[in-house]
Structure 1
Amino acid sequence: MTDAGVPLRVVSYNIHSQRDDTAALAEVVRTAAPDVVIVQEGPRRFRWRQKTAALAESFGMVVAAGGLPSLGNVLLTSLRVRVVDTRCQRYPLTPGRHMRGAAYAQCRVGGVDVLLAGSHLSTDPAERPAQAAAFKRELAASTLPVVAGADINEGPDGPAWQTLAEGLTDTALAADRADRLTFSCSDPRRRIDALFVDPRIAVVDYDVVDTPAARRASDHFPVLVDLLLPTA
């Protein structure tokens, strides 16, 4: 804890269903040494519990919430983060499309309570606004400071992004790093991955991790953010 608040390092990361270099994936996360990893495209099918536990172990972390019940959204934490309560959400299914959802964990860090949340919105622009609205309702209902990571599948000018950003801090903008692109690793052209936080939370630093290992690990770059949680 500092005089200004409780530090929390967060990674939000679409891991591409672990279809790429898993050793590089573990290297990226372990090098970042986060307190929280908000995962999109985590294990969600056969033996998902074992696969999620193995993913967490490879990162040097533990499973807080998510997996199959949240359709591949997973929240992982270090041992300094105490998980108090968890829940999962599934968005209404549009026929012929993949189901989407979100994971939530009420946590305590250094005596401060916070809500962690993660989601992965549809690639279909017709579906995303309703999914963003459903995710936003859960975030807005929280009385705790919110830390929410998402693969939104659209940029900051899109309606789903704007729905999620309303009333929250876009950590890239707060750190004057909105020019850092997150997708794709092979041809970075778009910022479609975001970390939003409650205005009570201070943004200390923001980065999009672009290293040789990150380019091998997934088709998305991870977002890495240092925060200070409010103590009062």
Structure 2
Amino acid sequence: MKQLFSLVAALLMAAVAQAQGVIQFEKELHDFGNVPEGTMATHEFRFKNTGNQPIIIANVQASCGCTTPDWTKTPVLPGKTGIVKAVYSSAGRPGIFNKTVTVTSNAATPSEVLTIKGNVLNKDQMKSSLTPAQLAQSPRMVLDRAVHDFGKFEAGQTPSAKFTVKNTGKQDLVLSAILSQCYCVGYKNVPSPIKPGQSAVIELVYGQRKLGAQQEQVTITSNDLSGDAKVTLKANVVKDLNAGSMVKESDSSVPFK
């Protein structure tokens, strides 16, 4: 009888051990090849749950801050598929890259390592590696203006400026990093790809803290092989907008009320 109980217990334990999700990726390495500097190189690693229990991805950790991961947040049922997305920001990172993304889940293999690699080329290198026909297929970024003056504002405020961007090229225009010496300019919202012939409004947020007259040269990078767009932001940053603002009341000068 004891032997029978032991056999039943062993079978139950084996069944419990086998009752797990199994995460199976279509591939664990993606090579982007040559990537134009300024683009956000994106790849979705697809996987299938070939086990018999739901898979829940607990975390996805990139090997560097230049890679932004995303993944399927809901449980992936047996037989269903999910994704792990890796986005590599190539702005200011010319040269060969090889980065990993570690996926942690409740699957039978609790940790999986995915790899992305490629070679970031600057615009001149990219042009030399493509034929005239390929270059003609590049997206083209056209801004409605090259200068914006915020006027006077208080230090600590973060005014924004809207620009209209048109894609006059033949492929989707993907805007990426914004470069400035002050590191005080950014997107209010991450812009979506702009289809050929279409326009979109982007909003730049200016977080300058230095007082006085300011003028920032800002570069908007993209996958436009003809070059990046440059805009100039101007402003007069003051400590207090009300300071020194006086009006005459009778024979005395008093501050604004």
Same fold (TM over 0.5): no
TM-score, with normalisation over the residues of structure 1?
0.23
Q: Which has the higher helix share?
A: 1
Higher strand share: 2
- The answer to which structure, 1 or 2, has the higher relative contact order (CA under 8 A, 6+ apart) is 1
TM-score, normalised to structure 2, is: 0.21
Larger radius of gyration: 2
